[in-house]
């Protein structure tokens, strides 16, 4: 396939891991990058082999050689800059969550549909064999009928000045890590009789930061009666990004489903047996870029799109409201 030609908005740390390294592995071209400080963009370009540095994000979006935009900016800047990229006729691979709230996600979806471009939210875990194996175990009936799903996304606290603690920048535990846990529950809909719905949520605010969730726990239910539990925090002692799927015949546990390059195990326990599978340490971001490219070049199907992004934000907003907090505000550029 012809290499995908990518423009990068910002020189955030995640961009190296989530797009630059995968581009090197998949052969994609990193055509352009811009950052708020030009010297940071130049350093990023030198380190990762980006072909040119532009003075602004708009210049990257309007570069005629760029066909797809990667957006790793702060959460509140995802929706506005995704809309700018769509207006320029560019496909978008956006960091999660795709917008600050469900209304903004719907704006992005509708704009993409009208422009005929692809917008994909960066839930990279979904493309790794670890997650595919969990789904396969359910699909083949090895775990029996789905009964319960536990998704845990907790981590030690970022520094106080980190933008992930900023309400105007759409920060909070759910927006940073909890969105993975809620999304993973939604992705088990085929085995739960349909999408799960929120039953209740509880949250704790960060000290001196009203409205910003330090932690949030949520309970869900699937149409077939299976239950879901989400635990998310940005104030834990240790990092844990795990997913457990429990069925009538057994259970499967992925201790690091969002970071499978660090721990690629799926641990299966049934009524008859117990075993451990290793699914490979290749980066989930590389699998994601391969899938995104194959979709744009060959029309290969992908499991998520802009409609999925809206459904995820609807669930996030519902969790905030249930916990007594407000959905994140939209930002105007």
- Please tell me the predicted confidence (pLDDT) of residue 232: 98
Question: Which residues on neighbouring strands pair with residue 150, listed in sequence order?
Answer: 229, 244
Range 5-123+288-304: architecture per CATH: 3-Layer(aba) Sandwich (3.40)
Residue 262 phi, psi dihedral angles, 5° rounding: -95, -35
- Please tell me the predicted confidence (pLDDT) of residue 148: 98
Domain limits, CATH 3.40.50.720, in the chain: 5-123+288-304
Question: Is the distance from CB of 102 to CB of 327 less than 8 angstroms?
Answer: yes
Q: What is the pLDDT of residues 243-260, one digit of tens each?
A: 999 999 999 999 999 999
Question: Is the distance from CB of 307 to CB of 14 less than 8 angstroms?
Answer: no
Whether omega before 97 lies within 30 degrees of 0, making that bond cis, reads: yes
Q: Which of 90, 96, 207, 244 is catalytic?
A: 96
B/e letters for 139-163, b = 16+ CB within 10 Å, e = fewer, are eeeebbebbebbbbbbbebeeeeeb
Q: What is the pLDDT of residues 23-49, one digit of tens each?
A: 999 999 999 999 999 999 999 999 999
Q: How many CA atoms within 13 Å lie on the side-chain side of 59?
A: 13
CA neighbor of 162 nearest in space, from 171, 174, 175, 149? 171
For residue 1, pLDDT over 90 is answered with no
CA neighbor of 293 nearest in space, from 8, 19, 16? 19
Q: Cα(first)–Cα(last) distance of the chain, in Å? A: 36
* Mean pLDDT score, 313-325: 98
d(CA 61, CA 58): 5
Helix count and strand count (H, E) for the chain = 12, 14
Options 3.30.360.10, 3.40.50.300, 3.30.750.24, 2.40.50.140; CATH of 125-282+314-322:
3.30.360.10
- Please tell me the predicted confidence (pLDDT) of residue 67: 98
d(CA 319, CA 113): 27
Question: Is the distance from CB of 115 to CB of 326 less than 8 angstroms?
Answer: no
Q: What is the pLDDT of residues 96-146, one digit of tens each?
A: 999 999 999 999 999 999 999 999 999 999 999 999 999 999 999 999 999
Question: Is the distance from CB of 213 to CB of 172 less than 8 angstroms?
Answer: yes
For residue 59, pLDDT over 90 is answered with yes
* Mean pLDDT score, 302-318: 97
For residue 160, pLDDT over 90 is answered with yes
- What is the rounded average pLDDT for all residues in the chain? 97
- Please tell me the predicted confidence (pLDDT) of residue 165: 98
For residue 333, pLDDT over 90 is answered with no
The crossing angle, in degrees rounded to 10, of helices 306-322 and 179-186 is 120
For residue 69, pLDDT over 90 is answered with yes
Coil vs helix vs strand at 102:
helix
Coil vs helix vs strand at 105:
helix
* Mean pLDDT score, 86-94: 98
d(CA 84, CA 166): 23
Domain limits, CATH 3.30.360.10, in the chain: 125-282+314-322
- Please tell me the predicted confidence (pLDDT) of residue 315: 98
Q: What is the DSSP string of 12-59?
A: -HHHIIIIIHHHHHHT-EEEEEE-SSHHHHHHHHHHHT-SEE-SSHHH
* Mean pLDDT score, 309-326: 98
For residue 174, pLDDT over 90 is answered with yes
CA dihedral 257, 158, 69, 312 (to 10 degrees): 50
Beta strand ranges found along 74-190 (DSSP E): 91-94, 119-121, 146-154
Residue 284 neighbours by CB under 8 Å, 6+ apart? 124, 125, 127, 128, 130, 258, 259, 260, 261
CA neighbor of 90 nearest in space, from 110, 114, 69? 69
The DSSP code for 194 is: S
Q: What is the pTM of this model?
A: 0.97
Based on its alpha-carbon atoms, the radius of gyration of the chain, rounded to whole angstroms, reads: 19
Residue 190 neighbours by CB distance under 10 Å = 12
132 assigned to active site = no
Residue carrying the six token digits 């400080």: 37
Asked whether the CA dihedral 95, 242, 173, 230 is positive or negative, the reply is: positive
d(CA 146, CA 161): 42
- Please tell me the predicted confidence (pLDDT) of residue 181: 98
């Amino acid at each position: 396939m012809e290499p995908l030609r990518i423009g990068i908005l910002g020189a955030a740390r995640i961009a190296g891991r989530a797009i630059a390294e995968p581009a090197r592995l998949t052969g994609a071209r990193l055509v352009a990058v811009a950052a708020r400080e030009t010297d940071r963009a130049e350093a990023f370009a030198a380190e990762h082999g980006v072909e040119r540095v532009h003075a602004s994000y708009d210049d990257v979006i309007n570069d005629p050689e760029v066909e797809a935009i990667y957006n790793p900016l702060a959460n509140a800047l995802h929706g506005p800059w995704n809309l700018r990229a769509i207006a320029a006729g560019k496909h978008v691979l956006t960091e999660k969550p795709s917008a600050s709230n469900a209304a903004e996600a719907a704006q992005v979806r509708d704009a993409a549909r009208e422009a005929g471009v692809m917008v994909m939210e960066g839930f990279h875990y979904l493309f790794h064999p670890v997650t595919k194996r969990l789904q396969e175990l359910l699909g083949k009936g090895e775990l029996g009928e789905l009964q319960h799903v536990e998704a845990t996304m907790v981590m030690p606290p970022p520094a106080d000045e980190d933008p992930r603690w900023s309400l105007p920048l759409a920060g909070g535990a759910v927006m940073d890590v909890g969105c993975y846990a809620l999304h993973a529950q939604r992705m088990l809909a085929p085995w739960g009789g349909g999408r799960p719905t929120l039953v209740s949520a509880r949250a704790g605010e960060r000290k001196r930061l009203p409205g910003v969730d330090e932690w949030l726990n949520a309970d869900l239910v699937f149409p077939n009666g299976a239950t879901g539990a989400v635990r998310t925090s940005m104030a834990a002692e240790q990092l844990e990004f795990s997913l457990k799927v429990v069925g009538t015949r057994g259970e499967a546990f992925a201790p690091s489903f969002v970071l499978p390059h660090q721990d690629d195990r799926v641990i299966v326990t049934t009524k008859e047996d117990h075993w451990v599978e290793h699914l490979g340490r290749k980066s989930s971001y590389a699998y994601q870029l391969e899938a995104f490219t194959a979709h744009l070049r060959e029309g290969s199907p992908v499991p998520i799109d802009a409609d999925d992004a809206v459904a995820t934000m609807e669930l996030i907003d519902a969790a905030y409201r249930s916990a007594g907090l407000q959905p994140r505000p939209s930002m105007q550029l």
